[in-house]
Amino acid sequence: VVEESRPLYAVEADTVAEHLEKRQAASPAMTWDDSLGQARTLDRWRQAIGLVYPNEKPETFPPHVLRRPLAKPVRPTIPSGRIEKIDKPVSRLVMGAYGDANLAAVLFDAFYEAGGNAFDTSWWYGQGATDKVLGRWIKARGVRKETVILAKGAHTPGCYPKELTRQLLASLEFLQTDYADMYIMHRDNLEIPVGEFVDVLNEHVRAGRIRVFGGSNWTLARLIEANEYAAKKGLQGFGSVSNNFSLARMVNPVWDGCIAAKDAPFVEWLARTQTPLMVWSSQARGFFVRGKPEDTSDRELVHAWYSEDNFERLRRATELGRKKGVTANNIALAYVLAQPFPAYCLIGPQKLSELRTTLPALTVQLTPEEMRWLNLET
């Protein structure tokens, strides 16, 4: 029996504060894993019975964890670049999409205060669920002018001009804005003449609904065809691409229809045209953290990334990371950011610590010799 005169909540708060640096309090306190597991279970229970607290309702949004206004970064950790036709800097890291407002509040706030202003979302993710969360956060924090929205749609089987328009209009409504800074098609549809996609996207540009548009998982040949059509017609062409690019080679597509942009012709075209690449799975979906030849428990990781050459890349990234005082995952991200074309890396941390451990990659400088060595070219 533990005798205590303080209220239970005070005991819990004091115990956390006293043992924060150690990351664990002594018995009889619960382990941190148990505490977090209990919180997640309670969230699932509330979701199952439809219990929604006032600050979780659509018209509100969870406040900053420190109960203060969002701070503008004075000395941003995350660097920015410029993308033609977007009238503001674009952070080189792009925050992924979340359907959970509580998780998004913590991650979006921390990302923004570190200098990140670009956010990825899609109608396809829960038919607008992530659009709604991002739109609520932007409105609650009052940062629409500062943020760059990368909206997406037209995923198979809805990859048609009319469906693209329907999804874009719905996304803008969910996002509570009248335009997206960039619009990306999730997929291509080879049954549709490429000019039809270029035409409908230009209609939305003229209407002010999008500034820049591009394609995700498009082949180089189809991108060139689209831009040749646009040039011939005096229209705006594809101003960005969103394919996979990573230090690790994508052995098999992560999902059906996925395309990487790492082969020599694609890299040469990106470098020559300086087309921005909005990179998904830039860190190979955790391969540089969890990849082990003997561990085949994650079937998706094994399917997409396990190969002898990739494990050698992992070994070299680990070795170079030790020399530079960072992780192999940091080296992998730094490799993508150091390409001869503008790369903007989509990240999807599931907790604040994952965001924080990503940021050291931004301080890593790689020489041309190190870049070639990491990619097994020497």
Q: What pLDDT score was predicted for residue 73? A: 86
Nearest to 356 by CA among 326, 319, 336, 335: 326
For residues 217 and 122, give the distance between their C-alpha atoms in angstroms, rounded to a whole number. Answer: 15
Q: What pLDDT score was predicted for residue 35? A: 84
Would you kindly state where each structural domain of the chain is located, as residue ranges? 8-49, 77-374
Residues 6+ apart with CB under 8 A from 315: none
Q: What pLDDT score was predicted for residue 210? A: 99
Give the H/E segment covering residue 21.
none
Q: What pLDDT score was predicted for residue 219? A: 98
Nearest to 270 by CA among 257, 260, 256: 260
What count of other Cβ atoms lies within 10 Å of the Cβ of residue 16? 13
Q: Show the low-confidence residues of the chain (pLDDT under 50).
A: none
Residue with tokens 């609904």: 209
pLDDT in tens, 240-288: 999 999 999 999 999 999 999 999 999 999 999 999 999 999 999 999 9
**Under DSSP, is residue 303 helix (H, G, I), strand (E, B) or coil?**
helix
For residues 297 and 294, give the distance between their C-alpha atoms in angstroms, rounded to a whole number. Answer: 9
This prediction's pTM: 0.88
Q: What pLDDT score was predicted for residue 47? A: 87
CB-based contact 324:310 (threshold 8 Å): no
Q: What pLDDT score was predicted for residue 7? A: 84
Instruction: Provide CATH code, domain 77-374.
Output: 3.20.20.100
For residues 17 and 102, give the distance between their C-alpha atoms in angstroms, rounded to a whole number. Answer: 22
Q: What pLDDT score was predicted for residue 235? A: 99
For residues 257 and 234, give the distance between their C-alpha atoms in angstroms, rounded to a whole number. Answer: 30
Q: What are phi and psi of 182, to 5 degrees?
A: -140, 140
